[in-house]
Structure 1
């Protein structure tokens, strides 16, 4: 962050030198709380900025969130409090130790733990997890609440909220002095912070400065550099993800990084291994990128062992591994026949942002896959209920709850289903945009299926006459039969509506579908190609039946 530029810009825009407030930047779960005449009536996660998740009963379990406000803020008709739910570092370590002792997967970081704890269906779990909350801003009701950020923080504390430490500053050097001091004191904070936020103090000045599409002009975040540590790589393993990507992972002597014990770090891809010279036995520097994902960033002593070989066959299913010329990561070609891909895809399918099937957690998914009881995501809707009743720890109540969760998933919006399928490059926001452009899942699937079948025919040479009739590039299409979907995306990208208008028959269906997808916001060539290629895979077609 260019702090001097920030101070200079706001001073020039206002025509006077403002006072600033510095607050620690906490990495938790953003919550909005609505109070009506001092009584808590609604709590919701921030979500995507427009739509969040209602968590009122869970919020009532957090000791730092008062059900009724004290003092003058209680008299405001509608008051929206903004803040951050978080887990103290000590409590985070305790929760992870409890999960490991039960054979469950620990949380990757305190933010994920806080988010998972607040979004529990059972508010008692939120209470037991010991989630805390800091209030730091006001939305609706701000003009009645205070005239400045510093006054607001005092009034929030008087009303019954916990607030972070904060300091006032008059210039850039004072702000940087606070930054340096808090960076040195970072380890002593009871919770994770990853930087400092500087805000213009007076709300009148904030309103005068306004906001851009992306951020307020009156505030700036100054992040701490990623924390680093030195350790020894003991083993390099190859991990298979749900899309088949095979990623090298370093297993290391445990080290502490930003309040978390780290024993595994990503090596990203084979090129990164060669570039850094990482091998088993090497002494390396590891950091948490963005204070979330541990990664190896340099080698201090490579040792004398050879570099690891890239596997030619999947370490899980034995299928052939391929690496496309334009991709850095090798991929397993086993598809859903690969247990690793199947398990990861089902975990993704059942996850909260996808089909939200509570109770279908990682351990259960792995057991179902290992025992051959689920062979596709479709099998999630026909689980072996009677057999599960015979398993240790699976009583009638637990199985009945899972049954209800599976039934409830059938009513999810189809954008969630599209995202749940795990198509490469299709995130939740992209899936929602696509869903808004088609009347139903059935209509979308029909069009994608027709385009996929046209691509198959093109590859097999069945559309040669239609290719000739299209008349582009003298009728010569060296890539049309080799990579039909990539060719179609390229033609639409370069020729647009002109190519679609001239096409006939099944070729027109393919080009129209590509054009329709690429016309949607954030759906570029890669996303369009991924979707149609997904529908070309026979096992995916079978699953969707």
Structure 2
């Protein structure tokens, strides 16, 4: 019997210790009976003294309320995707890029678990929120479900605000047990342990999540106040706060250490109770991480060294042509179903018809298929020695499978150019109006579908011709709702150019890339050539080609949208032409005192165009310590060079402090 509040607090501490040893360390210090008895004593005290309940009490782990839906929640710091490498040669290339700026750097290597990523936010030592990865910028708020996972401490001794990130996983054995239970109850089976972990984490009833034996394994941090030190020491300190110990985490000094760590994980891949799909390599210096910064999509200081993909063979039964949002026709192979790592694979992309010709793939061919982690199943090649005469050539389509209009057949891509094609229209307009794009409130996917079905709109441009009387004729529409939508559409006029570029849904071009395009080229973005676009820092061949192609196919649409919306060009293009850096193509190299992303953003705001490569078109190179091949090439090409000290003086002359 618990007599008073002090006694209650002591018993909570004891119960927490019992739970940690049982659920996390798998080393019980009490019997189940002793644990249950103490748990109920605490629960009885809390029911009799509701005003004294400590929010981090073990009894508070399972919420009683069932949610109707999950709220969206923004991460304080973006959750980035990692670039993948697959062999020792690519590992050496990646390390050499790091060594150019940090020649004596060391690394932390840890397993890459195949689960669901989760971001935990602690403030004053108390768990404030738990958010799924989502799109990296925001995810779903699942705090009540996360509290049911025993390896997530409700409080930690670290008092500064911090985001602790990790993977929610389930063991292979527990996955099999869950599927057996679902089979007996007539529910759909989970495809693999990763799906089971993600599905369990997103239950609207926390009590269901609590029944699943989920584990949270930390692998990194997000927003924090830590500027220097060893990441290896930091992550090991975090593990002492009550989290599940991250296995096989290693401090590596060189490529030999890293490869040995990888080889060890690869050797236990199939026998380890939790699914692994590779290893994460990260620079150990936190200062180096901040200095190296990020590309548009991923951190420069970390990568995923993926395990070799698992290969299996199957037979191509037929080809389905899919029409994407940008009108690209993608051939998809319908396969004789096979099982790869717990997932049943019955379809695989063939990417484009150029690839089909190159690989000489036919219907009824036996083909090799690979799948690695989350990678979409991919056909590698056909086994031509197994051909029996029943094989049929795969012919390029000449007409859109959805709208029947004639297709534009290019060297690689085949496109439906009909902007009214139903296969792409609804999704394109819904994306155009979404929060990530123009944020037209009240124009969700269902409303778009209704407007299309009733013939109110036939394309994106028609949005700007909608009249209130058109909407009032529709079922479920009243004057206030109709007027609100028309006002929301009108409010998109004069929005920043980058928002319009992002709203167009150009393949490979997201928010960050749209901002760079707007900042570099303004309204002339679709008049630029491939080399000019490819020279933007962080851009690549696919991104540049995608912008060029989109501009050609949608020339008239873009022109009319620009006329209707009158997007606002960035300030740097409008007013910063007097800056020393304006209109210059600039490259950064060497170790600088500030993260490159921060310096690049500042220069772009002054009208500069950033590039990651050195050529005759480069106007200026700003270099820091340990500058390597870029500086050497710059000297050979007689490009203007200034060191960081000179750079800061130039900024100071323009009234800017770095």
Q: 1:84 to 1:283 in 2, by over 3 A?
A: same
Q: How much does 1:186 deviate? A: 3.4
Residue in structure 1 matched with residue 88 of structure 2 by the alignment: 2
Matching of residue 332 in structure 1 with residue 416 in structure 2? yes
Which residue of 399, 402, 405 maps to 1:319? 405
Residue in structure 2 matched with residue 458 of structure 1 by the alignment: none
How many equivalent pairs are there? 443
Which residue of 531, 536, 543 maps to 2:556? 536
Q: 1:541 to 1:148 in 2, by over 3 A?
A: closer
Q: How much does 1:135 deviate? A: 1.8
Q: 1:29 to 1:419 in 2, by over 3 A?
A: farther
Distance of 1:85 and 1:290 partners within structure 2: 15
Alignment of 1:61-210 (within 5 A): 61-63=145-147, 64=149, 66=152, 68-70=154-156, 72-73=157-158, 76-84=159-167, 90=175, 124=204, 133-138=216-221, 140=224, 142=226, 149=232, 152-153=234-235, 155-168=237-250, 176=259, 178-187=261-270, 192-198=275-281
Q: How much does 1:306 deviate? A: 2.1
Do the aligned residues in 2 keep the contact of 1:133 with 1:162 (CA within 8 Å)?
yes
Q: How much does 1:223 deviate? A: 1.3
Residue in structure 2 matched with residue 282 of structure 1 by the alignment: 365
Aligned residue for 2:419, secondary structure, equals helix
Matching of residue 251 in structure 1 with residue 251 in structure 2? no
Distance of 1:239 and 1:153 partners within structure 2: 45
Q: How much does 1:267 deviate? A: 1.1
Do the aligned residues in 2 keep the contact of 1:255 with 1:261 (CA within 8 Å)?
yes
Do the aligned residues in 1 keep the contact of 2:164 with 2:218 (CA within 8 Å)?
yes
Residue in structure 2 matched with residue 451 of structure 1 by the alignment: none
1:131-164 CA-partner distances (Å, limit 9, x unpaired): 86432234635589x9762x55554344233453
Do the aligned residues in 2 keep the contact of 1:232 with 1:253 (CA within 8 Å)?
yes
Residue in structure 2 matched with residue 471 of structure 1 by the alignment: none
Q: How much does 1:77 deviate? A: 3.2
Q: 1:343 to 1:258 in 2, by over 3 A?
A: farther
After TM superposition, the score normalised by the length of structure 2 is 0.51
Aligned residue for 1:336, secondary structure, equals coil
Do the aligned residues in 1 keep the contact of 2:277 with 2:372 (CA within 8 Å)?
no
Distance of 2:94 and 2:536 partners within structure 1: 39
Distance of 2:206 and 2:474 partners within structure 1: 32
Q: 1:12 to 1:373 in 2, by over 3 A?
A: closer
Residue in structure 2 matched with residue 40 of structure 1 by the alignment: 127
Q: How much does 1:530 deviate? A: 3.6
Q: How much does 1:323 deviate? A: 1.3
Distance of 1:309 and 1:15 partners within structure 2: 53
Q: 1:256 to 1:60 in 2, by over 3 A?
A: same
Worse-superposed segment, 227-236 or 129-138: 129-138
Residue in structure 2 matched with residue 455 of structure 1 by the alignment: none
Distance of 1:372 and 1:16 partners within structure 2: 65
Residue in structure 1 matched with residue 112 of structure 2 by the alignment: 25
What runs of 5+ residues in structure 1 fail to find an aligned partner? 391-395, 449-484, 494-514
Distance of 2:441 and 2:490 partners within structure 1: 9
After TM superposition, the score normalised by the length of structure 1 is 0.60
Q: How much does 1:261 deviate? A: 2.3
Do the aligned residues in 1 keep the contact of 2:398 with 2:406 (CA within 8 Å)?
yes
Q: How much does 1:83 deviate? A: 3.0
Distance of 2:489 and 2:215 partners within structure 1: 31
Distance of 2:132 and 2:114 partners within structure 1: 14
Which residue of 393, 400, 404 maps to 1:307? 393
Q: How much does 1:435 deviate? A: 4.7
Worse-superposed segment, 285-294 or 237-246: 285-294
Q: 1:378 to 1:299 in 2, by over 3 A?
A: same
Residue in structure 2 matched with residue 508 of structure 1 by the alignment: none
Which residue of 368, 371, 379 maps to 1:296? 379
Do the aligned residues in 2 keep the contact of 1:286 with 1:297 (CA within 8 Å)?
yes
Which residue of 191, 195, 212 maps to 2:292? 212
Which residue of 336, 345, 355 maps to 1:262? 345
Do the aligned residues in 1 keep the contact of 2:132 with 2:142 (CA within 8 Å)?
no
Residue in structure 2 matched with residue 496 of structure 1 by the alignment: none
1:9-37 CA-partner distances (Å, limit 9, x unpaired): 8999999997x754211366665544232
Distance of 1:197 and 1:357 partners within structure 2: 40
Q: How much does 1:346 deviate? A: 3.5
1:448-491 CA-partner distances (Å, limit 9, x unpaired): 9xxxxxxxxxxxxxxxxxxxxxxxxxxxxxxxxxxxx8xx656x
Distance of 2:164 and 2:311 partners within structure 1: 36
Q: 1:184 to 1:343 in 2, by over 3 A?
A: farther
Do the aligned residues in 1 keep the contact of 2:230 with 2:286 (CA within 8 Å)?
no
What runs of 5+ residues in structure 2 fail to find an aligned partner? 1-86, 566-658
